[in-house]
Amino acid sequence: MATTRNGDAELYWESTGAGAPVLLVMGLGVSATGWWRTIPVLAENLRVIAFDNRGVGRSDHPEGPYTVDQMADDAVAVLDAAGEQTAHVYGISLGGMIAQQIALAHADRVRGLVLGATTPGGPDAAPISDDVAAFFRRRLEMPAEEAVWASVPYSYGEQTRARGAQRIADDLRERLRYPVEPVGYGGQLQAAMNFNVGERLGDIDHPTLVVHGDADRIVPYANGELLADRIAGAELESLPGAGHLYPTDAPQADRRVTEFLAAQGA
């Protein structure tokens, strides 16, 4: 557990495991605790570096709006602090947008790339539905605990909602260890809304795995198909019935990511 600084934000980070490094980049409004299911699996074979993005958790919460470029620079500052010149980069949701920007702006720092439940943005991306967009706007006004429970219908697949109540409760317990605050959430939301690298995906030349649930309501599955189509050589791991938080809906995804990264070598 340590901190480092980039610009106006001090950033909390932690590391566990040994082996080739993988930098985990979490999504909108969630601290590194959101990786609680994934870290133990990856750490069996890798050095896992996780951190709280600016605006959430134990990192600083400067006034927004933020940009994905800025948040990618934050991630690279964490990599520097961890003493790693290069690493695999695995981002989910907004973290997947940040991972794309790292691969484009800091290409020499990336070994392999995993893009989970994310989008390149821009006019070719599949937009979220009006009702989901309206929820994210309303969420800015909700207390943290109400907001995480209200997000359940949007975040999880049908089977998990019907039969996995305890799994959902376990997730929410971890998320509420460091409740998101309006300043940080709003700053991150602006970063996500303004992201657009659709025309630059052809410049990404790292081994890439795209992971996406086909029941994702927050970032529609078509975005995963778009990423896999436009990044040369990218593999698409489709998760039937899984929603946006696929590590809970489809735990096998963590093993698939581990296998992919292991195949890239040290």
Nearest to 101 by CA among 128, 65, 76, 127: 76
Q: How confident is the model at residue 166 (pLDDT cuts 50, 70, 90)?
A: very high
Query: Among residues of the chain, what percentage have pLDDT more than 70?
Result: 99
Residue 265 has pLDDT above 80, yes or no: no
Q: b/e for 54-73, b at 16 or more Cβ within 10 A?
A: bbbbbbbbbebebebbbbbb
Question: Residue type at 173?
Answer: R
What pLDDT, on the 0 to 100 scale, is given for residue 266?
A: 55
**Mind listing the domains of the chain with CATH numbers?**
2-263 (3.40.50.1820)
Residue 103 contacts residue 125 (beta carbons within 8 Å): no
Higher pLDDT, 141 or 88: 88
User: What's the pLDDT tens digit per position in 210-263?
Assistant: 999 999 999 999 999 999 999 999 999 999 999 999 999 999 999 999 999 999
Instruction: Give mean pLDDT, residues 189-209.
Output: 97
Task: Give the chain's mean pLDDT.
Answer: 96
Nearest to 26 by CA among 106, 114, 103: 114
User: What's the pLDDT tens digit per position in 35-84?
Assistant: 999 999 999 999 999 999 999 999 999 998 999 999 999 999 999 999 99
25, 29, 32, 38: CA torsion to nearest 10: -70
- pTM here is 0.97
Residue 80 contacts residue 4 (beta carbons within 8 Å): yes
